[in-house]
Structure 1
Amino acid sequence: MGALSDLRIVDCTQVLAGPYCTMLLADMGADVVKIERPGGDLIRSNPPFCEGPDEEAYGGYFQSVNRGKRSLELDFGDERDRQDFLSLVEEADVVVENYRAGTMEKYGLGYETLKEHNPELVYSSIRGFGDPRTGETDRQGQPSFDLIAQALGGVMEITGQEDGPPTKVGPGIGDLFTAVLNAVGILGAIHHRERTGEGQYVDTAMYDAMVSMCERTAYYYSYTDEVLTRQGNSHPTLFPYNSFEAADGHVVIAAFSDGHWRALCDAMDRPDLVADYPDAASRLRNRDSLRAEIAAWTREHTEDDIVDALEGRVPVAPVQDTADIFDDPHIHAREMLADVEQPGADRDVTVAGCPIKFSETPTGPQGRAPLLDEHRDELLGTGGENGDGAATARGDD
């Protein structure tokens, strides 16, 4: 049994941020019931596919963040479906949604209404700019995506090469980091409820999350009045802490402490650099010339040779691609790649595993992602996917 196996989550989320949050809870054992709009989550049809998509297939995007959940298709514009939803809420611990502010209220399913049906309910929302209940602003109601959050929150301003444009971080951290914070908030609210019997509203905004993630820029500006900007793979206050070209790829080296600096210079056979730059302040002042010295050494050696020379003495690593990660025994020992069934395919597919590990309770995918409305009968007892509660179309929100 997972650590959260006594919790039921009613999941009214779609695309990435909300589903990733509830995926983490499912990986820890929670029963996550995914409520899908008519036609299903918007990213069910997103590639890649193992086979050509059909009416019930879903691609890797949906599989990755919806594994281990149960699916129920409901139309909130339909009175019977709203009643079915409320019957689930009455038995739930948590409701999670990531619609625009006001959407659930439009259907008479806002927090205050749901709380009347379940006073101990934890209600959680993920929005671009938060919910008016926790701090009203003129941005609320505006749509937001990862790109918007990274731009507003300062991530893009500090990402990229010094002479290049602001750059988005590769993974959708505006969604993913917000989702992780929301999961933490949900568990905090559950703990509060265990102590007091009181449910509450949990709100996590993508813009807020990106400001929190860029905590360095906030304190740096406060202390110095200086606005941090792009400086490639280097660090504003630590050196060396950077990537370097090798003969066959790239490595990263973090040797900013005095001990690590001495070990790096020893591997380079450069005792003169230790003597000339014995402390962090002198190295930081001369970072450009010292970076050139280190780069000249790394270019003459392969990634493996550099790692062999420094590993155990200096923090060092090759820059890996996904194929390298799939080949890394560490990743397999940590169960960070998980195989799940892919409906319609003649093979399993691989998704990222759960990074949360416990000593006593298992974590990880609890099975494949669901087909649309796959669990109607067991959740509502309506006789299968085409029962009386079958959903009808409604507009986007």
Structure 2
Amino acid sequence: MRNDTMRALDDILVLDLSRVLAGPWCTQMLSDLGAKVIKVEKPGAGDDTRGWGPPFLTDPATEEKGDAAYYLAANRGKHSVTIDMATPEGQELIRHLAAKADVLVENYKLGGLKKYGLDYDALKAVNPRLVYCSITGFGQTGPYAPRAGYDFMIQAMGGMMSVTGEKDALPGGGPQKAGIAIADLSTGLHAVIAILAALNQRHRTGRGQYIDLGLLDVQVSMMSNQAQTYLVGGKAPARAGNGHAAIVPYQAFPTQDGHLIIAVGNDGQFAKLAEVLGHPEWAADQRFILNRSRVEHREVLVPLLEAETRRFPSAHLLDALERRQIPCGPINTMDKVFDDPQAQARNLRQEVPHALAGTVPTVASPLRLSDSPVIYDRGPPLLGEHTEVVLGDLLGLDAPAVEALRAKGVV
């Protein structure tokens, strides 16, 4: 029987020592699944992304700028506690919290927490059941391990920018990063997978474990078929713009008033496309009859297709293609994404509570669980919003004790 009050991870306590994106993206997803996530931030400053704007959330009463949209995107549902881990008292508070936690996530540079006595070996001694996830640019081993790692450089080093962007010989060609921080976001997702696996392992053994995640490792793995193409064929793939190295036609095509995507995945779909464009004979042409032939004769076929798609308004061509069940779609800006009937039917925009603004819009989680759904009842926290409550509930500190720590700059 369904129980709407039950969440998949509502018995899991996560201590979040991460900031910026990869770690917070991981812990936001754990929060969406019901985990209680305690985000530890530096007093008076907090996560760097609180200031990464514009735009900023604005206090409706005073018009003062609050947190940046960047921060709001990755910190839904967490409890913010301010602790200065550079102080002995702050380190002790974090050790006490780690003793009660199921999971700890951090993204400090190699050895960054060891000097504070907050590394895995130190915390394992006080909590053998702790699942400790470290996220760094290059992992814990290898010659690059001490280096800082940022998404942009990791996209370059991991091969992403060698296959993203227009062909080198064409105008605008050359290296191009993805429009989102794909290395950070992918690492956050992989961190969730590893953490859930480690928690399941703990059910069998009673022991936690250490998780070593490197952005470069993740980015190389995300190259998937492109990496495998090199490993099997021995030739590094090149940039192909909006085209696909192994499927034709599978790219953006011009119309009377813009562009749209046509993604033909098999020979039957190509035959239907040829009919829609008024050239059914193309499906019998030996140069185009099979996908492998269309790939070989790409330079002939694509201009023929473009000449025909230019004759149609985008909406008209999309309708004709959809009626024939040919995969296609518009190239939406974000306003059109959220206006799309499918996005609205799936409730991809949600509103969550916020202590400053009342509510704040957020992008829905893609995780749809029938018996333990994501519930949008907790928004991104203000800096230190839950310090007193968390230290009181978990560590038993009363108000005077917290105020004494605040007076010393510890919290």
Normalised by the length of structure 2, the TM-score is 0.90
The secondary structure found in structure 2 opposite 1:208 is helix
CA spacing shift, 1:267–1:391, aligned 2, 3 Å: farther
8 Å contact 2:183–2:215 — kept in the other structure? yes
Q: For residue 34 of structure 1, give the secondary structure of its aligned residue in structure 2.
A: strand
User: What corresponds to 2:145 in structure 1?
Assistant: 140
1:331 to 335, 343, 355: 343
Corresponding residue number in structure 1 for 2:257: 248
Pick one of 198, 218, 228 that aligns with 2:207: 198
1:310: Cα distance to partner? 1.0
Identity %: 37
1:95–1:166 CA distance, 2 compared to 1 (3 A): same
- C-alpha distance in 2 between matches for 1:384 and 1:98: 32
Q: Secondary structure at the match of 1:291?
A: helix
Q: Does 1:121 align with 2:126?
A: no
Equivalent of 2:49, from 27, 43, 48? 43
Match of 2:15 in 1: 10
**One-letter code aligned to 1:379:** V
- The equivalent residue for 1:101 is 110
Instruction: Output the CA distance in 1 between the equivalents of 2:69 and 2:318.
Output: 34
Give the residue type in structure 2 aligned to 1:316. C
SS at match of 1:112: helix
Change (3 A) 1:200 1:54: farther
- Count of matched residue pairs: 389
User: What amino acid does structure 1 have at the position aligned with 2:199?
Assistant: I
Equivalent residue runs for 1:303-342 within 5 Å: 303-311=314-322, 312-342=324-354
Q: Distance in 1 between matches of 2:64 and 2:97?
A: 27
CA contact (8 A) 2:353 2:377 kept: no
Alignment of 1:179-258 (within 5 A): 179-258=188-267
Please give the alpha-carbon distance, in whole angstroms, between the structure 1 residues aligned to 2:400 and 2:379: 19
Gaps of 5+ in 2: 1-5, 393-397
Partner SS state of residue 211, structure 2:
strand
Secondary structure class of the residue paired with 1:3: coil
Asked if the contact 2:388/2:402 (under 8 Å) is kept, the reply is no
Shift of 1:218: 2.0
- CA displacement 1:300-325 (0-9 Å, x = unmatched): 11221111111152111111110111
Secondary structure class of the residue paired with 1:387: helix
1:377/1:384 contact within 8 Å kept: no
What is the identity, as a one-letter code, of the residue corresponding to 2:58? E
Q: Cα 1:251–1:366, aligned 2, differ >3 Å: closer, same or farther?
A: same
Q: Distance in 1 between matches of 2:127 and 2:178?
A: 40
* Offset from partner CA, 1:10-50 (integer Å, 9 cap, x none): 00010111101100000111100001123211111222113
Query: Contact between 2:80 and 2:386, CA under 8 Å: does it hold in 1?
Result: yes
Q: Partner of 2:404: helix, strand, or coil?
A: coil
Query: Aligned runs of 1:229-378 on 2, under 5 Å?
Result: 229-276=238-285, 277-311=288-322, 312-345=324-357, 348-378=359-389
SS in 2 for 1:50: strand
Matched residue, 1:387: 403
Range 42-51 or range 177-186, more displaced:
42-51
Compared CA separation, residues 310 and 153, structure 1 to 2 (3 A): same
CA displacement at 1:388 relative to structure 2: 2.2
Q: CA 1:167–1:19 in structure 2 vs 1: closer, same or farther (change >3 Å)?
A: same
Query: 2:279 and 2:180 mapped to 1: Cα distance?
Result: 38
Greater mean alpha carbon deviation, residues 22-31 or residues 212-221: 212-221
Gap regions ≥5 residues in structure 1: none
1:59-70 maps to which residues of 2 (within 5 A)?
Answer: 59-70=68-79
Give the 3-state SS of the residue equivalent to 1:348 in structure 2. Answer: strand
Q: 1:329/1:256 Cα in 2 relative to 1: closer, same or farther (>3 Å)?
A: closer
Distance in 1, matches of 2:136 and 2:80, equals 22
**Would you say the 8 A contact 1:95–1:122 is kept in 2?**
yes
Shift of 1:378: 1.4
TM-score between the two structures when normalised by the length of structure 1: 0.93
Supply the AA of the counterpart residue of 2:162.
Answer: E
Q: Structure 2: how far apart are the matches of 1:165 and 1:391?
A: 54
Deviation at 1:342, TM superposition (A): 4.5
Report if aligned partners of 2:99, 2:126 keep a CA contact under 8 Å in 1. Answer: yes
Q: CA RMSD in A?
A: 2.0
**2:262–2:328 contact (8 Å) kept in structure 1:** yes
Amino acid at match of 1:306: L
The one-letter code of the counterpart of 2:134 is: S
Paired letter, 1:179: G
* Cα distance in structure 2, aligned partners of 1:266 and 1:35: 60
